[in-house]
Amino acid sequence: MERQLIKGNEAIVKGAILAGCRAYYGYPITPASEIAQAAALYMPLVGGTFLQAESEIAAINMVYGASGTGQRVMTASSSPGISLKQEGISYIAGAELPCVIVDVMRGGPGLGNIAPEQSDYHQMVKGGGHGNYKNIVLAPNSAQEMCDLTMLAFELSDKYRNPAVVLADGFIGQMMEPVVFPKPVTEFPEKKWAIRGTVGDKRNLISSIELDPDDLERHNRKLQQKYAIISQTEVRFQEYELEDAEYILVAFGIVSRLVQSAVDTLREDGVKVGMLRPITLMPFPTLPIEKYAANERVKFFSVFELNNGQMVEDVRLAVNGKKPVKFYGRMGGNVPTIQELVDQVKKQMREL
Amino acid sequence: MSTKILSKSEGFYDVYDRRPGTDKDTTHYCPGCGHGILHKLIAEALTDFGVKDNAIIISPVGCSVFAYYYFSAGNLQAAHGRAPAVATGVKRSLPESIVISYQGDGDLAAIGGNEILHAANRGEAISVFFVNNAIYGMTGGQMAPTTLIGQKTTTTPYGRTVANEGYPIKMSEIIASLTAPVYVERVMMADTKSISNTRRAVRKAIKNQVEKKGFSFVEVLSTCPTGWKMTAPQAEEWIKTTLAQHFPLGVLKDISGDVEPLNLDHHLLPTDRIGKAINLPEADADQPKFVIPDTVNEEIKISGFGGQGVLSLGVWLSEFGMREGLNVSWIPSYGPEMRGGTAHCHVKLANRPIGSPLVVHPTILVATNRPSLEKFEKEVIPGGKIFWDNSLMDITPSRTDIIRYPVPATEIANQLGNTKTANVVMLGVITGVSEFLDENIVRRTLPQIFKKKHLLDINMQAFNKGLEVAASLKRIA
Ligand SMILES: Cc1ncc(C[n+]2csc(CCOP(=O)(O)OP(=O)(O)O)c2C)c(N)n1
Ligand code: SF4
């Protein structure tokens, strides 16, 4: 297979087009702008739509409209823009529309800065907008996965009629790596619910309003059931050097690449350490973590993030008090060095 | 109000079976409300123009949120104020459908001000019906942006004042001031005659879309007896005597006769042509085997002023490495490091998978300005290589445990007649002295990087010069 050296942000757009996405609506923001630029370049060439919207709010509502017609559609932004999209995402989740939302996270709160953070974990994985809904959230850690997980996001979002998020950070977006692009998807699920302006679908309705409390509760229960099925069937994670690991490091996205190097370094020093990397953040790999937590060999879990400790909450829930759960985070766009991670693990080992 | 002139058309359900509860024959609107009448006018026009089955209604948040009870058409219910954005997404996906954005004054003129302005400005080929009843009906009679000065509402209990709330906003005038909209008219629904006039305007707005003319906007002054705390006849009278005085009726813009039909078609590219369109790589069938060692593990930092091509040099090295079959990563200086006009990038080339893409202890440092050398010299591993452009700085590395490569890259580039080729000179030197780079891969790839012949020629010269420098440096070493 032919490899192409490409930026993560651009790999997302090519992956999306290969997945059959033919509409992109977005508003520029660093460090996600290359996604809009690549979409502007390629969408017209494949007969798709690219539109720079007047705001992130407008963009996500254009996505709502396009998705309602059954089209595979996406938007992308970075943290402040994602905050603006939350209203629309809640409506999309409520109306059970599929779509793909890419968040190339940057430093916050407020305007923050354009450097990489992972501080949108809460707002993307836990909901973010109002209501009892969840997004499907995939966390790539390479340019290859920027393509692959974007394609998977389209598949899952159609399958479950649910918004799917590709949660990346400024680093993976800006990084260039070789990518092998797969063949274009040619088979798509039938969308009987879509509105296409024909006699056959004119009774279809895309809406999130349910005035009657019983109806709305029923709708919410149905959504929760859907999330439960997703949690049972769609969990994806990577295990690295875990066969004999006594110390389990947990990290997602770019941090997992750093932690992988730290594991290599620590292993050279004879420390039995490994990494568990959630690839899906919703559904969270709760069961595998539970399994390791129950294993006598394992002494602690240590979570590394570029935030104030957000995913660590889900690790704690999964570990459920069986083992200590440590946390080390950097914020503001600072990225730890490998040595820093190694030192942290050694310090945590001493504290045990 | 005279509703006799209205009959149910095929675009309107006979029985409102989507309406919850037992009453399936009357609308959920208050007696004397304008919404129901406008609904019927729209449905009638859709039916008469033969597009009722292609119609898609975007309903707003407001009293007309339940428009889908009544219209026999596809319906998308939008968030408050966002109907024009939703309509945009629908129309762009389905250019053959007839897309109606139906909005109240809170929805369109307050919270959705941005969406309507930009949908209009883009000239989206949709029809917008704007119900101006000078109040928020659904939420209990609060002030709207169109509420009149002095008008009492539940949030202007003493009457709207200019000092506190400003003047009522005239949306039709604003929309008509834009270039793209083809048709903007304000009408009212206060008696048989004015409803007939509204019918005409509604038909025109829909006909425009059928004929692919572009963006049409009809503002309808409409009754809200409940919000206004009036009887239905009083409300009709108030529209005529008061509301229509502040919001002058009439056509504000109509260029629908002068414009050509829009070409809205998409031509989806066949699947087998997508790869080429999005520039996917094609297999290089006779790619030669390159001679590189089995244990490559290079960590390279390249740093200089923006414009010196340090980022490109890094990308090229990654590209060559990839073509040699190595794992590679490239990442630019980014975030807090991006200050003061200097740029640098991290490049890794290795046989084994690459963990962190960040280079902390370079095996190779390329410094093309003085601050870069000063800043990064100390990071280089013992035994590492430092390449620096000695035509641009008067300092040399102070360390003695590294291999030194002074390269007058800019001077050579200037002699060749193009300063920009300095990074290719540097590339030549790196290629000449490094084992991980096969000279042939560079020669083979440069034509793909420099597609214009004169650029390729001069850069090939620069590359050859670099190789010469490398050879002489090797001799000295
Ligand atoms: C984001 C948001 N803010 C506020 C509301 C509450 N709300 C519902 S309808 C409405 C105003 C409706 O007034 P208008 O658009 O004039 O329509 P009408 O009911 O008069 O037809 C408001 C403020 C909401 N649903 N969503
Ligand atoms: S509150 Fe006003 S706008 Fe709403 S249904 Fe009643 S009369 Fe109509």
Nearest CA, atom 3, ligand 1:
B80
Residue-wise pLDDT for A136-150, tens only, equals: 999 999 999 999 999
- The domain of A66 spans 3-233
- Of B149, B135, B160, B132, nearest to B248 (Cα)? B132
Are A25 and A66 spatial neighbours (Cβ–Cβ below 8 Å)? Answer: yes
B386 in any annotated domain: yes
Same domain, B219 and B291: no
Select from A204, A209, A338 the Cβ nearest to the Cβ of B74.
A204
Nearest to A175 among B53, B86, B329 (CB): B329
Classified as helix, coil or strand, B188 is strand
Q: Are residues A123 and A247 in the same domain?
A: no
CB contacts, 8 Å: B357 with chain A:
171, 175, 177, 257
B466 CA to middle of ligand 1, Å? 69
Q: What is the structure's pLDDT at B289?
A: 73
To which residue do tokens 């209203």 refer? A87
Of A63, A113, A258, the CB nearest to B355: A258
Which residue, A233, A254, A269, sits at the end of a domain? Answer: A233
Task: Check if the beta carbon of residue A177 is closer than 8 Å to that of residue A5.
Answer: yes
Cβ–ligand 1 distance for B106 under 6 Å, the answer: yes
Q: What is the predicted pLDDT for the residue at B282?
A: 84
Residue A79 sits in the same domain as residue A179: yes
CB-CB contact of B202 with B130 (8 Å): no
Instruction: Quickly state the pLDDT bin for B340 (edges 50, 70, 90).
Output: low
Judge if B225 and B370 occupy the same domain.
no
> Which residue, among A275, A189, A280, has the nearest Cα to A232 in the 3D structure?
A280
- Condensed to tens digits (0 to 9), the pLDDT of residues B342-394 reads 899 999 999 999 999 999 999 999 999 999 999 999 999 999 999 999 999 99
Q: Looking at ligand 1, which atom is closest to the CA of residue B60?
A: 15
Average pLDDT over every residue of B417-439: 95
Within a domain: B365? yes
Element (H, E) at B476: helix B453-476
pLDDT digits (tens, 9 = 90+) for B238-276: 999 999 999 999 999 999 999 999 998 888 999 999 999
Helix, strand, coil percent content, chain B, rounded in steps of 5? 40, 15, 40
- Mark whether B246 and B296 lie in a shared domain: no
pLDDT over 90 for what percent of chain A? Answer: 98
Checking if the pLDDT of A264 tops 90, the result is yes
Is the CA virtual torsion A34, A11, A282, A345 positive or negative? negative
Does residue B286 carry a pLDDT above 70? Answer: no
Residue type (1 letter), A206: I
A290 shares a domain with A206: no
pLDDT reading at A276 higher than 60: yes
* Same domain membership, residue A12 and residue A140: yes
* Predicted local confidence at residue B2, as pLDDT: 44
Mean pLDDT of chain A: 97
- Give the orientation angle of helix B422-433 with respect to helix B439-449, to 10 degrees: 160
CA dihedral A203, B62, B87, B183 (to 10 degrees): 120
Task: Tell me the mean pLDDT in the region A221-237.
Answer: 98
A242 and A343 housed in the same domain: yes
Of A59, A73, A205, the CB nearest to B75: A205
Give yes or no: residues A73 and A190 share one domain: yes
Query: What band does B336 get if pLDDT is binned at 50, 70 and 90?
Result: very low
Beta-strand relationship, A237-240 and A273-278: antiparallel
Q: Do A175 and B96 touch (CB under 8 A)?
A: no
- The owner of tokens 């509703």 is B3
Domain boundary, last residue among A233, A249, A274: A233
DSSP run (H or E) holding B349: strand B342-350
Inform me whether the pLDDT recorded for B332 exceeds 60.
Answer: yes
**Res B293: pLDDT:** 80
Residue B335 confidence (pLDDT):
47
**Tens-digit pLDDT profile for residues B16-66:** 999 998 999 999 999 999 999 999 999 999 999 999 999 999 999 999 999
CA atoms within 13 A on the CB side of B411: 10
**Can you give the residue range of the structural domain that contains B128?**
35-254
Task: Please identify, by atom number, the ligand 2 atom nearest to the C-alpha of residue B35.
Answer: 8
| CATH number of the domain encompassing residue B447 | 3.40.920.10
Q: Which of B69, B86, B100, B265 to mutate to test the interface with A (most CBs of A within 10 A)?
A: B86
Please state the ipTM of this predicted complex: 0.97
For the stretch B121-138, pLDDT in tens is 999 999 999 999 999 999
Q: How many angstroms separate the most distant Cα atoms in chain B?
A: 103
What distance in angstroms lies between residue B42's CA and the mean position of ligand 1's atoms?
A: 22
Distance (Å, rounded) from C-alpha A64 to C-alpha B86? Answer: 6
Confidence bin at B283 (pLDDT 50/70/90): confident
Is the beta carbon of B62 within 6 A of some atom in ligand 1? yes
Q: Which of A299, A285, A194, A308 is nearest to A244 (CA)?
A: A299
- Do A93 and A154 belong to one domain? yes
Q: Which residues line ligand 2 (CB under 6 A)?
A: B 29-30, 33, 35, 63, 133, 137-138, 224-227
Dist. CA B133 → ligand 2 center (Å): 9
Same domain assignment for residues B323 and B237: no
Contacts of B468 (CB under 8 A, 6+ apart): B428
pLDDT of residue A272: 98
Is residue B450 scored above 80 in pLDDT?
yes
B275 phi/psi in degrees, rounded to 5: -50, -45
A168–chain B nearest CA distance, Å: 15
pLDDT score at A129? 96
What's the B63 CA to ligand 1 centre distance in angstroms?
8
| Domain match, A241 and A229 both | no
What's the whole-number mean pLDDT along residues A28-32? 95
Q: How far apart are CA B118 and CA B95, in angstroms?
A: 18
CATH number at residue A335: 3.40.50.920
What per-residue confidence (pLDDT) applies to B368?
96
pLDDT of A1 strictly over 70: no
| Residue B268 forms part of a structural domain | no
Is the predicted pLDDT of residue A245 greater than 50, yes or no? yes
Domain count, chain A: 2
Beta-carbon separation of A64 and B76 below 8 A: yes
Strands (E), B98-211: 98-104, 127-132, 183-188
Contacts by residues B439-442 (CB-CB < 8 Å, ≥ 24 positions apart)? B439/B467, B440/B288, B440/B290, B441/B290, B441/B320, B441/B323, B441/B324, B442/B320
Nearest-atom number in ligand 1 for the CA of B106 is: 15
Q: Which of B102, B107, B131, B133 to mutate to test the pocket of ligand 2 (most atoms within 8 A of CB)?
A: B133
